[in-house]
Amino acid sequence: MNRDEPTLERGRELGRIEAALDSALAGEGRVVVIEGRAGIGKTRLVQETRALAKDRGFGRLQAVGDALEGAMAWGVVRQMVERSVSRYSGEIREKILAGPSGDALRALDAAAADPSEAELGRTLHALWWVAVDLSSTRPLLITVDDAQWADHSSLQFLVYLSRRIADLPIVLVVATRPPAENAGPLAHLSVSRQAERVLPKPLSLEALAELVAARGVVPAWAVVTSLHAASGGNPFLARVLVDELDALGLPLDTDTSAGQVGKLGPSTVFRAALGRMPAEAVGLAGAVAILGTGGDPWQAGALAKLDAAGLSVAVEALTSANVLTGDGDHLVFVHPVVREAVLADLGPIARAGLHGAAAKALRAAKAPADRVAAHLAQAPRGTLPDAAEILRKAAAALLAAGDPRTAAAHLRRAVDETPDDAALRAELGRALLRTGEAAEARQQLLVAADGVPDAELVAAAASATAVVDGPEAAVAELVEAIAARPGGPRDPGRMHLEARLAVIRSFLPHHRGVASDHLRAYASLSGGTPDERTLLGLLAQMGRYEVRPADEVAATACRALSHGAYFEDATGSIDVMVGWVVAMLALISADGVDEARREIESARRRVRAHGSPVEFAMVANAALFLDWRLGNVSVMEAEAEGALAAIGAEEPLPQVVALRATSTHFLAYAAMERGDLEAAAEVLARFDSDHGDGPSMMPTMWLHEPRALIALAIGNPVLARTQAFLQRDEMLAAGVDPPTIPWRVPAVRAAMLLGESDHALELAEEQVSIARKWGTTTEIGAALRLLAHADGDRRLDLLAESVGVLERSPARLHLARSLIDLGEAMRVARRRTDARTPLNRGIELATECGSVVLRTRAVEALEALGDRPRRMVFAGPSSLTASERRVADLAASGRANREIAQELFVTPKTVENHLGRIYTKLGIAGRRELARVLS
């Protein structure tokens, strides 16, 4: 492709690209996917984009997908970062590496060392911050050409960036052939609502005539027509056909040449590009095609068996013919179609031989394992004596990068090299589990377990069995394996199998009784190992659901958490982290708030230092429950908004949906406490719109309660009762009825409004009974308050008892409710003097907690007594929303916008927007005055 040739019939496409660039200049990022078949002109559009961006002052990163590098973790990301570094040396290079580019390389190196499932999320987030930093001083253009050959991990990053690009001055332009299947990151990027697709059309007859005329000859119209029919208007193929006509000595300006166009065969591309070149040039082209974009000229020359003189001649011939172009220290094909033609001409045996030779040369040069492995995967077996170890090392990096499919392919090949290596088969089995190929995974894991009697392999095989034959079969398999296991009941291998059995049973409601008895046998564990902590965490969860004594559950949860050890276990797997969250909920439900607070702060430090948005939201979910328990309504609201913002662009996996449900639940609570029923209904409706057709799970069950409370607030007790009973039925179907999120509260209030006082009393007494069984002062005090509403004859005594119990509880909002209810009941009973004390105390607590509704009710009760309490004035700091106050406090403490954004897992622009609103509300000019105003 000659850059001097005109860009024809691409004005519409370039106009859309210019609009994207202008949008980024205004601070709103855009994604453009240029999609079309080979030769249609995608690369030309990418080049034009880069030129337009340069004229506008953009920073520019670029990469080109490569079939060989598609098997290397983070190949495209490394390519664009290393290109930005490689042109510099000395002090300038060191300065660049000390900034975002160095951060990117360090993030990739750290990921390669930790092939855990959770590491991918952290790496993607770290790379996103690199993009944020690179675009902080000037807008940034990122282009990826031939993305159909990009590695899986880099494509995942492009999707991750595309979902978070709106707040950044970045344009991401991805040129690709149409995705081969409607799955995978490239397909997601092409069809996502964040991306605008540009589909270059074939050239018209007139444009094709202009393209040919640019060579200095006005073509005959019959030749143009034949060229158009043969090429389909594809610019690259048309150029190749013209080159071939020229090589055959057929004039373009004569009608008689038109008949020859249709006779050019399928090998035209290779023949036109290389068919008349010396053998040395053809051999070098083959070597460059085999090595891919990462190979340098000397490596290619050695592979083609050329000496320095021969290499120089071959390079000159290929660059003069516009087949190759120099790219720094590399040779690359001007067009990928030519490279494909070269590879096709080599044939499979020659290609395999060259890949083998490349693997040997790269191994001798101590090249990275992933580059050697990419060639080994296509080379003859036995190419290198340590092939299996190289493939294994490359597979580990691919797993860390979230590409289990390529990792499994490498490991299959490694097993072919050393079929008796049981540990290698085990790694293959684990990789296959992550690809979803459970049947083959089970086979490999069981074979490995025969060679290496490892309980972890048996447990992993059972996980595969659960997918293939169902969880019942997996349970039977594990029970049999445990029975056959030598050693005592505390044998480490046996404990691992017991932990996996407990995890699988926890998802089977009809196994709940057996699972409960099974877990109780481990109640005395110390929590000294990950398996012990898993068993204890599940036991604590079971204790909460089965309403065992709260102090027993709290002690079990504390041993499971083991002063942060359980969280450390969880950092390798989101699924394990779910176990940490449920152990935390059990602890908080048991009023173990001091231990929970310490655990959450420790987890926050870990996530802030090296965490992903999902991990941030999981810790936030535990904090939400604690804040609700303590009555910190304003903090809870900010926490819920922050969690939803952090995972707003995440894939709706079950864990993510559960996190959104929990955050939505508490955000609705907070809105109701502020008296904003419309906002509460809106957050619930937003969740239903996004996930209403999803499967039922514990966090989605709890959402019926705020729906019922809203129905009560708007005077619809029938709807409130319906929602409460929906929660009851779903909970009973799951075999749980914990008192901590009670469906009976709205059900009792609805029954009272509907005149069903006997039913209301029955339900309230049930709640008291369950609360006493659980044994926390929080639940007992709240249940007594509920019973007071249903039992008018004993209302004053029950409310006084509720206050007395809640005085020993950490739940200040519950205490405020009981105090205010008691004060109102005393006022109605004409004990006006007695009523003032609980009402005034209730006002203080409601104000501290941030419950506007509760405070307003207490103020109105005092006014009915003739008092004139001070009303809240929403001005100054009090006018800030919970999220604004959180940002304002962080800014006042001296943190920069970037630091605040990192701590809250949002974009710097989000922080900037918050601060703009904060300054306006507070009537100040900027950050310097924040501390004074907030104090």
Q: Could you tell me which residues come within 8 angstroms of residue 285 by beta carbon, excluding any fewer than 6 positions away?
A: 274, 277, 318, 323, 324, 342
Roughly what angle, to the nearest 10 degrees, separates helices 100-112 and 387-400?
120
Predicted confidence at residue 327, as pLDDT, reads: 63
Q: Tell me how far apart the alpha carbons of residues 378 and 670 are, in angstroms, rounded to a whole number.
A: 59
Predicted confidence at residue 505, as pLDDT, reads: 83
Residue 863 carries which side chain, given as an amino acid letter? E
Beta bridge partners of 173: 32, 143
Radius of gyration of the chain (CA): 34
Predicted confidence at residue 451, as pLDDT, reads: 67
Closest to 413 in 3D by CA, of 355, 332, 459: 355
Return the half-sphere exposure (C-beta side, CA atoms, 13 A cut-off) of residue 460. 26
Q: Tell me how far apart the alpha carbons of residues 439 and 448 are, in angstroms, rounded to a whole number.
A: 14
Closest to 207 in 3D by CA, of 5, 42, 3: 5
Predicted confidence at residue 236, as pLDDT, reads: 87
What DSSP assignment string belongs to 853-908? HHHHHHHHHHHHTT--PPPP---GGGGS-HHHHHHHHHHHTT--HHHHHHHHTS-H
Predicted confidence at residue 453, as pLDDT, reads: 62
- Our CA dihedral for 888, 893, 898, 900, rounded to 10 degrees, sits at -60
Beta bridge partners of 326: 331
* Letter string b/e over residues 56-83, b meaning 16 or more CB atoms within 10 A of that residue's CB: bebbbbbbbbbbbbbbbbbbbbbbbbeb
Q: Tell me how far apart the alpha carbons of residues 68 and 406 are, in angstroms, rounded to a whole number.
A: 12
Predicted confidence at residue 927, as pLDDT, reads: 86
Q: Tell me how far apart the alpha carbons of residues 513 and 676 are, in angstroms, rounded to a whole number.
A: 43
Q: Is the dihedral of CA 468, 474, 480, 486 positive or negative?
A: positive
Beta bridge partners of 740: none
* Ranges of H-type helices in 418-564: 422-435, 438-451, 455-468, 471-483, 492-505, 512-520, 530-545, 550-561
Predicted confidence at residue 876, as pLDDT, reads: 66
* Letter string b/e over residues 25-51, b meaning 16 or more CB atoms within 10 A of that residue's CB: beebbbbbbbbbebbbbbbbbbbbbbe
Roughly what angle, to the nearest 10 degrees, separates helices 744-753 and 704-713?
30
pTM of the predicted structure, to 2 decimals: 0.87
Predicted confidence at residue 872, as pLDDT, reads: 58
Give me 638's structure tokens.
């900010």
Give every residue of the chain whose pLDDT is below 70, as ranges.
Answer: 1-4, 87-88, 112, 114-117, 264-269, 272, 294, 327-328, 451-453, 572, 870-876
Return the half-sphere exposure (C-beta side, CA atoms, 13 A cut-off) of residue 389. 4
Roughly what angle, to the nearest 10 degrees, separates helices 387-400 and 369-376?
110
